[in-house]
Amino acid sequence: MKNRIFLFLIVVMISCESDSVSPTGVYTVQGYVYYLGDLANSVTVSIDGQYNWSSTTSNDGYFSISGVSEGNHELRYRKENVLDQSASDSLGFTEKTISISVYDDVVLDHLRLPKVVYLYPAEDIGVTGARVLWSPTDDESFREYKLFRHITSGLDETTGTLVHVSTSLTDTTFFDEDLEPYQEYFYRIYVMNDFGKLGGSNLISFYTSNIQLLTNGGFENNSATNPIGWDMVPNTGNSIEIDSLFSYEGSNSLKFSHNSPSGCWEMWIYQYIDGSLLTEGSAYNISMRYTADFDENTFFNLIISNSSMNEWITIPLEFNDSQQWSELDFTFELPNEVGTGQTKIDLHFCVEGVRTWWLDDIEIVKVTP
C-alpha cells in the first residue's frame, strides 16, 4: 500500500511537470497607431514579417493580431502613400520597427509613425548642378538621411546612386554638382534609424539646363582679325580671318580663302571644351549658317577628340554662290566612351580650287538625354 501511494505521487508529479512546460502560451497584440497626432488608418502592422501575424489598422487606428507566441518579437508598422504638402502623384511612406516582449496579452496604445519626408521641387537648376531640398522628419530615433539619384523613375536603394548622407536631422538641403547638361534626373530620400528605415519620400525629377558647347560661334568677339576662343590653321597660301563687312548675325562672320588652284590644302578651326559636359551615347546637333562664292556639293569633318575618343563626323555642305546664307542642321551621336578631359572640337575642310566661303552662328547643343 505504501508503494502504491508512492507511485501515485510520482504520477501526479510527472503530470504536473508536463502541465508547466506545455502548451507554450499564445497571446494577442493590439494597439493604436497615430500619425501627426491623429489616429491613422490603413497602416500595415506585422510581427517578425510573418503573414499570419499581420493586420491593417481600421479607420480608428486600431489593430489586433492574435496567436502570437510568447517571447521577444519585432513589430513593424508602415503607412504607404502619405500625402504631404502639395504632392500629388508620387507619395512617400513612413514606418517604424520596435521590439516587443510577449508574455501576456499586449496593448500598445500609442504607436507613433514618423513624419514623412517630402522632397520639394529642386531649385537652382543649372547645366551641371541643382539643389535638392526636403522637409525634416520628427522621429527621435533618427540616424541619417540617404539621398538617391537615378536617370529613370525606377529609383530605389538598389537602382539609385547614393549621392548624399546626412546625420543631422535639420540638414535638409544638398547641392548636387555632379550632373550632366540637358539630362533628366530623379531623386528620392530615405530616412534611417539604427533598426532600419523610418520612411521614404516622394519622387522628384527635373531636367538640367542645356548648354551651348562652343564659345564665340558667331565670331563677334575678336582680337584684330582673329576670333577669341578659336584657333585657326589656314595652311600654306590660304587664309582664315574675320570678315567684319559680311555676316548672317551680328557684325562678323569667318571667311575661309583657299588659294591653290589644284588639290586641297586642308584648313581647320578648333577650340577646346570641358569633356565632362559631354554625355556618352547622347545625340547632339551642330547648326550653322554658311555661304560661298562657288557652287559645289561637298562636306566637312567635325572631329571631336580627347584621350578617350577620336570621332570623325562627315557633314554634307551644299555651297552655292547665291550670296544667300544656307542653314546647316545636323544631328550626330557620341560614342559610349567620351572621356572627361580637355576635348577638342575641330571643323576641318578640304575644298579644292581658288574658293572663298564664310561661316557664322555655329552652335553645338545636346538634343537627347
Count other Cβ atoms within 10 Å, centred on residue 46. 20
From the list 116-124, 239-247, 323-331, 344-352, the region that binds Ca ion by CB under 5 A is 239-247
- Rounded Cα distance, 291 and 319, in Å: 6
Q: How far is the CB of 80 from Ca ion (least distance, A)?
A: 57
Q: Output the nine-digit C-alpha cell for 162.
A: 547614393
Q: Which is nearer to Ca ion, 29 or 328 (CB)?
A: 328
Total residues belonging to the chain: 369
Residue 247 lies near Ca ion (rule: CB under 5 A):
yes
Q: Of 280, 290, 289, 296, nearest to 333 (Cα)?
A: 280
Pairing of strands 26-35, 38-39: antiparallel
From the list 10-18, 70-78, 108-116, 250-258, the region that binds Ca ion by CB under 5 A is 250-258
Q: Which is nearer to Ca ion, 32 or 219 (CB)?
A: 219
H-helix or E-strand containing 5? Answer: helix 2-21
Quick note: the x/- pattern for Ca ion over 310-349, rule CB under 5 A, is ----------------------------------------
Residue 360 lies near Ca ion (rule: CB under 5 A):
yes
Residues 6+ apart with CB under 8 A from 124: 130, 131, 175
From the list 65-73, 219-227, 273-281, 299-307, the region that binds Ca ion by CB under 5 A is 219-227
Q: Which is nearer to Ca ion, 139 or 220 (CB)?
A: 220
Q: How far is the CB of 361 from Ca ion (least distance, A)?
A: 6
Q: How far is the CB of 94 from Ca ion (least distance, A)?
A: 58
Q: Which is nearer to Ca ion, 122 or 269 (CB)?
A: 269
Q: Which is nearer to Ca ion, 250 or 353 (CB)?
A: 250
Q: Of 297, 347, 289, nearest to 319 (Cα)?
A: 297
Task: Determine contact, residues 68/112, Cβ cutoff 8 Å.
Answer: no
- Rounded Cα distance, 47 and 66, in Å: 11
3-class SS of residue 213: coil
Q: How far is the CB of 247 from Ca ion (least distance, A)?
A: 4
Sole residue written with cell 487606428 = 61
From the list 52-60, 252-260, 314-322, 338-346, the region that binds Ca ion by CB under 5 A is 252-260
From the list 139-147, 237-245, 342-350, 354-362, the region that binds Ca ion by CB under 5 A is 354-362
CA 155 to chain centre: 9
Q: How far is the CB of 311 from Ca ion (least distance, A)?
A: 26
Q: How far is the CB of 217 from Ca ion (least distance, A)?
A: 8
Q: Which is nearer to Ca ion, 216 or 276 (CB)?
A: 216
From the list 145-153, 289-297, 340-348, 358-366, the region that binds Ca ion by CB under 5 A is 358-366
Helix and strand totals (H; E) in the chain: 1, 27
Q: Which is nearer to Ca ion, 218 or 234 (CB)?
A: 218
Q: Which is nearer to Ca ion, 191 or 328 (CB)?
A: 328
Task: Determine contact, residues 227/216, Cβ cutoff 8 Å.
Answer: yes
From the list 37-45, 212-220, 273-281, 328-336, the region that binds Ca ion by CB under 5 A is 212-220
Residues that contact Ca ion, how many (by CB under 5 A): 7
Residue 281 lies near Ca ion (rule: CB under 5 A):
no
H-helix or E-strand containing 97? Answer: strand 92-102
Q: Of 230, 295, 237, 311, nearest to 268 (Cα)?
A: 230
3-class SS of residue 86: coil
Q: How far is the CB of 252 from Ca ion (least distance, A)?
A: 5
Residue 222 lies near Ca ion (rule: CB under 5 A):
no
- Rounded Cα distance, 156 and 241, in Å: 55
Pairing of strands 239-243, 231-233: unpaired
Residue 218 lies near Ca ion (rule: CB under 5 A):
yes
> In the complex, which residues of this chain contact Ca ion (CB under 5 A)?
218-219, 247, 249-250, 252, 360
